[in-house]
């Protein structure tokens, strides 16, 4: 991370429970800072314009596509990335369900899919299949056809409702 100079801005935020206070060029996106400066590479660079969802993270409780957000927009934010989901008891139920239900093929979209699914279930723990499909709209997968992804989210939902939270 850089020290302050005339071409940088100071941004303080929290990522996965860890506070950061960085000096960074204001033209950098949140995705660039996560990947390049913080070495958190789970969120992926796909379309570069917020359409594919590969860069989805949770910021202040909402799923956002961070490839199209400038780092200044993260000032004082609380961010969760895929790297922050695993708990003391191991994988988050969504991560485990994606594995168990074969919702991962090439894996490129998987972190964004899981983060979008987490935001859906955080907002509506009783999300129906239609709710899940609507909430996942904007997260693209070229491999799975979405059936296994939706099944995985439903299985994680059911496990979490039964008390199996991570």
What are the structure tokens assigned to 23, written together?
A: 């000096």
Neighbouring-strand partners of residue 80 = 58
| Predicted local confidence at residue 4, as pLDDT | 62
Rg (alpha carbons) of the chain, rounded to whole number: 16
Mean pLDDT of the chain: 94
Is the pTM here over 0.75, yes or no? yes
Supply φ then ψ for residue 53, to 5 degrees.
85, 0
Report percent pLDDT > 70 for the chain: 96
Greatest Cα pair distance in the chain: 53
Q: What is the pLDDT of residue 19?
A: 98
Write down the pLDDT at residue 142.
Answer: 87
What is the DSSP code (8-state) at residue 33?
Answer: I
145's CB contacts (< 8 A; 6+ apart) are: none
User: 23-52, pLDDT tens digit by residue?
Assistant: 999 999 999 999 999 999 999 999 888 899
* Average pLDDT for 1-15: 83
Quick one: pLDDT band at residue 148, thresholds 50, 70, 90? very high
Residue 126 has pLDDT above 60, yes or no: yes
């Amino acid at each position: 991370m850089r020290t302050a100079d005339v071409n940088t801005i100071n941004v303080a935020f929290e990522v996965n429970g860890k506070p950061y206070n960085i000096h960074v060029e204001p033209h950098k996106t949140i995705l660039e800072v996560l990947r390049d400066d913080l070495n958190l590479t789970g969120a992926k660079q796909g379309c570069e314009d917020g359409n594919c969802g590969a860069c989805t993270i949770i910021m202040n409780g909402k799923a956002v596509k961070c490839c199209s957000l400038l780092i200044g927009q993260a000032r004082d934010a609380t961010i969760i990335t895929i790297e922050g989901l695993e708990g003391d008891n191991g994988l988050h139920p969504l991560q485990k369900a994606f594995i168990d239900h074969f919702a991962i093929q090439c894996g490129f979209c998987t972190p964004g899919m899981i983060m979008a699914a987490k935001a859906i279930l955080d907002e509506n723990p009783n999300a129906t299949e239609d709710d899940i499909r609507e909430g996942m709209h904007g997260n693209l997968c070229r491999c799975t056809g979405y059936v296994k992804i939706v099944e995985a989210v439903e299985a994680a939902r059911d496990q979490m409702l039964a008390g199996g939270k991570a």
